[in-house]
Chains A and B, each alone.
Chain A
Amino acid sequence: MIVSPSLPRAVVGVVVVACVALLWTTRPSHRTSSSGDPPPPSGGNTAAPAPFGKGFLKSIVPKASAPQTNDLSQSQLIAQLLDPKESLTARRAAARALARSGAEDAMEALECVLRDGPAQLKAAVAEALGECPSPGARPLLLALAKGPDETTARGAMRGLAALGDAAASDMLASSLFDEKKSTALRTEAALALGSVREPAALDALTRAVREIRDETILNHVLDGLGHRPFAETEAVFIEFLKRDDSTTASRVAAIEALGHVPDSASTFILGYGNDPNQELRAAAAWALTTADNPGEIGPQLLGWLQQESDSAVRLRLYQALSHQDAIASSAVLPSVQRETDDEARVAGLGLLADTLRTDGNPDASRYFDSTAVAELKNTVLTSGRLDQSLAAIMALDRAGTPAALAALNEIAQHPTDPPCRTAAQQALKHHGGN
């Protein structure tokens, strides 16, 4: 069954397909088969697993990540793209597949959508043209990026980023510095430049950091820079963060942008743990929460947490610690027990739940069940804040202890906000409930 493709489903789809395919490869009847037909179920197959190679995984990932276009012919893709009754998701997926083919009839269909399609579909077409091998794609992209439809123009800018060459970089830089263009377009150009590997793109962003004063655009320039390797942007960030005329809001944006770097900026970010400005400290902790590769910095974060005086920063530190492996609940427990701020406490209890699920520390479990569960349940039922209520439900879900599940069960049946009831019901389902 195909439902609209969201990211998680695509990923899980990959996993499931991988498992199924792996299973098939382990079956003697399938080892040499190239057919896509599933083998009949049978029990008792004890054959040793056969190795699967990179080629196998490679072959299934693109299929699983674009389930809406799997096995469709070019004409079927065109029909899907042009059918207004199809979902936007299906039409966007068809547009991407057609653009990747670059065939003549595909280009005609894409141009048809660009004339008459809804804005978000036109934007998807424009973005997909960045992956199009047809020689007609580039001039079309350049025209769309300058066109009057802003949503499409932003899609075209993302397409130019996918092209990633010097001409695309020039076009994006020109848009970024064009004060006649809207904020939405200029920020899109800044973000797009962040993913263009051309040296000219880095030059444009560096110049923008020095010249642009509009805070919204500047913050997106910093965000764009943050998507480039820290090794090539470190000097720019250092210069900006030391500048006298940098506002706190933009410094916050700069530090948070470092959470996106593809390499690691953890050492640099941790340096802001001692900054007198609590907003910068909170930004640093958040950057370490979002970092792909923060490294093993649990001990440093715990040390920082123990001496942090601002509750908003402690909240972010609990969140950052939740993304660290191998944090012992015994190391977290004292800080959580001392925590007095309501929001930070919910985040701290969420962290404690994470850690005790891993190590099952009896002291932490006892504290969680005897104190935290009732407190989290009370937050859900009385805080009046959906974000806090959901954070509390997630903490109970993470812990998964019998007491936590009993509390979730109560919430699931309580005449409280429907979103909380639904979240509790979903958490219970994860733990085997209904």
Chain B
Amino acid sequence: MIRKTIIALVAVMATLLSVAHAGLASGSYTVEFDGNVTLWDLSGTYSEDIGGLTFDYTLSVDPAGKITGYGSANYAGSYGIGIDMTFNLNGTVSTAGSVTRVTLNMVMKGSGLVHGSTINFSASIKENMEIDTDASTLVGTTSGNISLSASGLGSFGEKIPPTDVTLDLPYDMDGTWDLTLTPATRGSKVTGTGQITLSNGSVFGFSITGTYAVRTDLSKIAMKGLPTNKAMSANIVANFSKAGMNVKSLKGKALGQTITYTGGT
């Protein structure tokens, strides 16, 4: 009898505990990362003008942080000068501690007309930059080689010495992002979906799996990028309550950048 009573009491207490525990993740939770942990997406269109010369290019950054791009430069000026160049770009975004580095390589080929004579151009340019998080700009240096050739005039090549570069990031990119998890907890198992939403509106989906521990009231969740963004992943330790999701730690990889966060109370 006593034994049955004890068992019943334990069962009741366990039930009460599970009901009372706010840590059973269920529903949709969003945490805003507004500058303490940044995620940068350089995807966008870049354009510059000098006295009638236009220089335009578009960059696309994939979930692994690989940059590809395409652009053109056009000039139609006086003295019979006309230039038309297209170029490919590639590069990477990477993080090391507090710095996010960006490399860009540009391979340009094109031709121009000077007094009816065709001049062929080619250039190989490398930019080594980092993100100035305060100004939302890319800051660094550029260098490379350029060569010109023209029929009857020969060909000439020169190095472009290190030159300072500052590029504004797309206007809607400030490094802030939201993490949304929609977990469901059954016993100690957590499953569900998640998504990362960048300041430019790009959304990346995840599947989530994990465990919930009653003793610590914490859920340990692994986020795995969906097939369209499988280069992205993260591990999270969080506490869930009616008040929301309290992220204790987060470590992951997205857009070539390492995300590391330790906090929460």
A residues at B contact (CB < 8 Å)? 1, 3-16, 18-20, 22-23, 26, 41, 45, 49, 51-54, 57-58, 61-62, 65-66, 68, 87-89, 92-93, 96, 120, 124, 127, 131, 150, 154, 162, 182-185, 187-188, 216-217, 220, 256, 286, 289-290, 292, 312, 319, 322-323, 342-343, 350, 384-388, 390-391, 393-394, 397-398, 417-419, 422-423, 426-427, 429-430
Contact = CB atoms under 8 A, between A and B. Distances in A.
Nearest to A130: B162
Interface stretch (B12-20, B73-81, B216-224, B236-244): B73-81
B75 A184 contact: no
B56 interface: yes
Contacts of B86: 398, 430
Given A3-B48, A3-B49, A8 B106 contact: yes
Interface in B131-159: 132, 135, 137, 139, 141-142, 144, 146, 148, 150, 152-154, 156, 158-159
A57 B155 CA distance: 11
Task: Tell me which of B43, B73, B163, B202 has the highest count of chain A C-beta atoms within 10 A of its own C-beta.
Answer: B163
Interface of B: 41, 43-45, 47-51, 53-63, 66, 68-75, 77-81, 83, 85-86, 88, 90-92, 95-99, 104-108, 112, 114-115, 117, 119, 121, 123-125, 127, 132, 135, 137, 139, 141-142, 144, 146, 148, 150, 152-154, 156, 158-167, 170, 172, 200-203, 228, 230, 258
Contacts of B79: 20, 23, 41
A6 B165 contact: yes
Contacts of B160: 10-11, 14, 61, 65
Nearest to B121: A15
A11 B146 contact: yes
B148 A18 contact: yes
Given A6-B167, A13-B50, A216 B258 contact: yes
A16 B164 contact: no
A323 B88 contact: yes
Contacts of B230: 312
A184 B105 CA distance: 22
Given A54-B156, A96-B162, A430-B72, A183 B96 contact: yes
B163 A385 contact: no
A26 B114 contact: yes
A117 B96 CA distance: 24
A423 B58 contact: yes
Given A216-B96, A323-B107, A394-B70, A292 B43 contact: no
25 contacts: A5-B164, A7-B165, A14-B158, A15-B83, A23-B115, A49-B117, A53-B156, A61-B161, A66-B163, A120-B135, A120-B139, A124-B164, A182-B98, A292-B105, A385-B228, A386-B200, A387-B41, A387-B62, A387-B63, A391-B68, A419-B43, A419-B200, A423-B45, A426-B56, A430-B56
A22 B96 CA distance: 46
Given A8-B55, A92-B166, A49 B96 contact: no
Contacts of B78: 41
B178 to A, nearest CB: 15
Main secondary structure of the interface of B (DSSP, over half): strand
A9 B48 contact: yes
Contacts of B92: 256, 290
Contact of B97 (A41, A162, A184): A184
A386 B97 contact: no
A120 B43 contact: no
Contacts of B114: 19, 22-23, 26, 49
Contact of B48 (A8, A184, A427, A429): A8
Nearest to A419: B44
B154 A430 contact: no
Nearest to A94: B164
B43 A390 contact: yes
Nearest to A289: B90
A101 to B, nearest CB: 14
Nearest to B51: A1
Nearest to A47: B115
A179 to B, nearest CB: 13
Contacts of A53: 156
